[in-house]
Amino acid sequence: MSKKVIVIGSGPGGYPAALRLKELGADVSIVEAWDFGGTCLNRGCIPSKAFLDTGHRVHAFEGLRRLLKDGSGANFTPDMLDWGKVKARRADVIAKLRGSLEKLFQAKKIEIIRGRARFTGPGEVTITGPEAELKKTFDAAIIAAGTRPSFPPPFRDFHEELTDSDRVFDLPALPKSILIVGGGVIGLEFACFFNALGTQVSVLEILPDIMSGEDPQVTRAVRSSFEKRGVKFYLGKKAAKIDPSGPLKCVELEDGTRLEAEEILVGAGRAADLTGMGLEALGLTWDRKGVKADAHMRTAVPNIYAVGDVNGISLLAHSASRQGEIAAENIMGADKVFDGDIVPRCVYAWPEVGSVGLNKAQAEAKGLAVKTARAFHLGIGRAVAADETEGFVQLVFSAADDTVLGAQIVGGPATELVHVLALAVKLKLKRADLKELIYAHPTMAEAIHEALHK
């Protein structure tokens, strides 16, 4: 008899879990309270990349002007852009991908239930849909409900007057100025996009630097690139007062500095909200980081699993997908664990950033003796030919035996190249192993080859 499994949430944690469960012979249903595909597809990873692609095209046009005949080129100005078409293109991308995903589930004969799930016991959920309530029993359940934008104080008192990473896609017009709260991945990607389209951009970050936890060489390179393009950073600064009432919204910092902009985008992370899911009926507790799960994705209740942002282990879509697959396989009798050391960390701005494993400071904090090697794109033929010389590849090795412990890439197709080095970290390859690869010429990947010989 096949196991009956309920998956709550159809985002990048939930839908791979459901697909894997089906492959393994489970009787699986997936519950979604909103649009199929979750945050990633509908208001996160995918729509933001559609926006960033628009910004990158504008950025590339500025570079092309140098090759035009005198007098034939024109600078891009914001009034040339049809904001409605930018939003429509984003909506079209989402619709195509969501439609493909729903068709895949139909083809696999996986039941999709629309509504909100509430646990009424360790083996039962009640799903409140648009028209009726439905009770479902299960042998195991996977919570993949995701998170929502977080509004830290004092911004949380002005939630409706400000925008966030969910609602920014629906701004009625391209703002002339925007203040972005948060210097992490969310904030930097939107800063890059709006800056490319001619918006005056400022970034407010309470921590001393952007991209908390990344290697200082990486953050310095990214910050410098943004500043050259006109983005202003206010680092190590805390907001004291908010006034969103005027034509320009205002944030007053604790030191008295006043920052004004047409729009304020709060991109200071995300938080779990499991209110109404009935976790208390299971004996589970949760906080803003979500519900605790172990490396097998099991919660404190043996037949309840939690994957993706909702468990707070690794707030990345691709982490959620792997966790969903692990939960599915463990429900069906496997003994898999999630390895956070091989999760690529990506920033899709320009310059792109891709990193994996440990940086120098993190390795040394673990008591490891390390050495690093770096190669700059300025010396790479493909980079020079493509005018993509910004950035570098940095490798981190064990000083004891030359094992690859981590890598950081800035510039070029960093988010694509990082997978080569993620595999090296997973397999515990040594510098000599990577040297034996043949790197096609001319490619940006040759920067890895160059770094290996430093």
Task: Count the residues in the chain.
Answer: 454
- Taking CB atoms within 8 Å and a gap of at least 24, the contacts of 221-228 are 221/351, 221/390, 221/391, 221/392, 221/410, 221/411, 222/188, 222/347, 222/349, 222/351, 222/353, 222/410, 225/350, 225/351, 225/390, 226/188, 226/191, 226/192, 226/195, 226/349
- Pairing outcome for strands 111-114 and 27-32: parallel
Angle (CA) 179 180 184, round 5°: 160
List active site positions. 441
Query: What's the start-to-end Cα distance of the chain, in Å?
Result: 59
- Pairing outcome for strands 177-181 and 200-205: parallel
- Pairing outcome for strands 392-398 and 111-114: unpaired
Report the SS3 class of residue 79: helix
The radius of gyration computed from the CA coordinates of the chain, to the nearest angstrom, equals 23
Tokens of 74: 């024109």
Tokens of 204: 């407010």
d(CA 306, CA 312): 10
d(CA 192, CA 203): 11
d(CA 114, CA 42): 16
